[in-house]
Amino acid sequence: MSDRVRAALAAALSADAVRAAEPHELVEPRGQWQGRAACVALPRSTAEVAAAVGVAARLRVPVVPYGGGTGLVGGQVMPDGVAPILLSLARMTAIRDVDPAGGTMTVEAGAILSDVQAAAAEAGRLFPLSLASEGSARIGGLLSTNAGGVNVLRYGTARELCLGVEAVLPDGSVMHGLRRLRKDNTGYDLRHLLIGAEGTLGVITAAVLRLYPRPARQGTALIAVRDPAAAVELLGRALAGEGVSAFELISGQGLRFLSETGVPVRQPFADPPAWSVLVELGLPEDADPDARLAAVFEAAVEDGLASDGVVAQSAAQRRDLWHLRETIPEANKRVGAIVSNDISLPIAAVPDFLTAADARIRAAGRFRINAFGHLGDGNLHYNVFPPEGVSKADIADRAADLREIVETEVAARAGSFSAEHGVGRLKVATLERYGDPARLAAMRAIKAALDPLGIMNPGAVLRAQGSGDAPAPQAVSR
Ligand SMILES: Cc1cc2nc3c(=O)[nH]c(=O)nc-3n(C[C@H](O)[C@H](O)[C@H](O)COP(=O)(O)OP(=O)(O)OC[C@H]3O[C@@H](n4cnc5c(N)ncnc54)[C@H](O)[C@@H]3O)c2cc1C
């Protein structure tokens, strides 16, 4: 079968647009899934993507759209079933147009996020999507997972940064949606169906993205806070003024993991505080972000919310503070979590959630918890690690109980079990358990209507038809 698929693709595209999958394309960042592929298709144009999808439909072969391979829920790797075509967008990287006055840019789906940011900067504008994987993640993957990152508080998720989408639908037809309109009420907005669909409804081939003015002056501070409730109070105070672009929560456990695992960072505090927040302001030329951060900090100290802090005095110090935050996932990976959770909650519920979940987990054993993330938009990465000296493999059987604790505490506060990473293959069963039944039925009906052959990334988001059990959730670390 694989030979037939490769030959048909070579005929429809070109011989050099088809190759065998490389090992790194069949695993994901946490190494929990081993994918399979009949081959990798590397189209150069939307027409070639359509031709590749047409071949898949004709031969009834699954298609797994593939961007930078940085997804954290296994959406880009297909471990079982008929070996799929891995449809890579790596050759479709053009920045087709930048329109600073109109505040838009049009890019192909294979463009890497850091290149898109650089092209916007060159035109004097900001494309504000920013996350630690920005040197590898591609626009198609970022839109398909509706990626978040550190600036959601101010600019929104990938969905809010996208005005138009061009995509190849599962029957091989091209949906031409590269519109630059802020207002367009002409029926169902299929752009928003494709965004966040994780490659299950079609292949995004290009997009129109929103640009913003670049903040003229930036200020960054790391502030040690009394507890998560103080962090939430500080967030409210910071948001009383303009220009807060990021507000990240960091736990003492996260800082200790960085030291323990030897990740090279500059620790600003001699003793890691139990909780700290990384705050970033982006303001116009005539404002003074450092003075504002200092004022917020001093008032917080006076009111007993904060005890210590540093305001970056240079671009290098600012980078160091961000490096600290952005390397926490690497330290987590080295320690090895039993379970990791990408959750979101109403912001006011965060302190209570942390108290309740921590208490139940500590009652279950001497586990270590690293909760950190985008407090400004209510998104936490809540990861549970084995006790010191115990390996994750030795207590892997506790994963289901720990996950249950976190998920039930999240559900009790009307939160989400997947804030920014998506459902992929990792959380199919969780979606079935916590998803609203009417919404799930509508999702299945949409999938069946757009992809009646079930070829588009089967098993991601929704259980593949006739596949039995969803893939078992696995222990992951981030
Ligand atoms: C160190 C690290 C930090 C991260 N930080 C964050 C973070 O802060 N916030 C966040 O939201 N995520 C984060 N992620 C997760 C990841 O970077 C995002 O999910 C990203 O959007 C995936 O983009 P990608 O191009 O790598 O997609 P891939 O991993 O290749 O694919 C992801 C999913 O999108 C589908 N897909 C890919 N391209 C297309 C396309 N053109 N059309 C249709 N479907 C497609 C795939 O089939 C798959 O289901 C992080 C990951 C790492 C490794």
| Digit-coded pLDDT (tens) for 93-133 | 999 999 999 999 999 999 999 999 999 999 999 999 999 89
Average pLDDT over residues 178-200: 95
Atom number in ligand 1 closest to CA 460? 49
Atom 15 (ligand 1): residue with closest C-alpha? 71
| Most ligand 1 atoms within 8 A of CB, residue of 27, 53, 72 to mutate | 72
Q: Do domains 95-213 and 217-329 have the same CATH topology?
A: no
127, 106 Cβ separation under 8 angstroms: no
* Other beta carbons less than 10 A from residue 356's beta carbon: 16
| Model confidence band, residue 471 (pLDDT cutoffs 50, 70, 90) | very low
Q: Return the pLDDT at 468.
A: 53
Q: pLDDT tens across 66-86, in order?
A: 999 999 999 999 999 999 999
Q: How close are the terminal C-alpha atoms of the chain, in Å?
A: 37
| Most ligand 1 atoms within 8 A of CB, residue of 144, 151, 160, 457 to mutate | 144
| Model confidence band, residue 466 (pLDDT cutoffs 50, 70, 90) | low
Architecture of domain 2-88: 2-Layer Sandwich (3.30)
Assigned CATH topology for domain 336-412: Alpha-Beta Plaits (3.30.70)
Where in the chain are the domains?
2-88, 95-213, 217-329, 336-412
CATH assignment, 95-213: 3.30.465.10
CATH assignment, 217-329: 3.30.70.2190
Pocket of ligand 1 (CB under 6 A): 29, 64-72, 75-76, 89, 109, 131-133, 137-138, 140-142, 144-145, 147-149, 198-199, 203-204, 329, 420-421, 424, 457, 460
Atom number in ligand 1 closest to CA 131? 8
Q: pLDDT tens across 342-378, in order?
A: 999 999 999 999 999 999 999 999 999 999 999 999 9
Q: Return the pLDDT at 30.
A: 82
DSSP letter assigned to residue 23: G
Atom number in ligand 1 closest to CA 138? 25
Three-state helix/strand/coil letters over 433-447: HHCCHHHHHHHHHHH
| Model confidence band, residue 314 (pLDDT cutoffs 50, 70, 90) | very high
Atom number in ligand 1 closest to CA 139? 25
Q: Return the pLDDT at 461.
A: 98
248, 276 Cβ separation under 8 angstroms: no
Which residues have C-beta within 8 Å of that of residue 419, sequence separation ≥ 6?
148, 342, 343, 344, 378, 379, 380
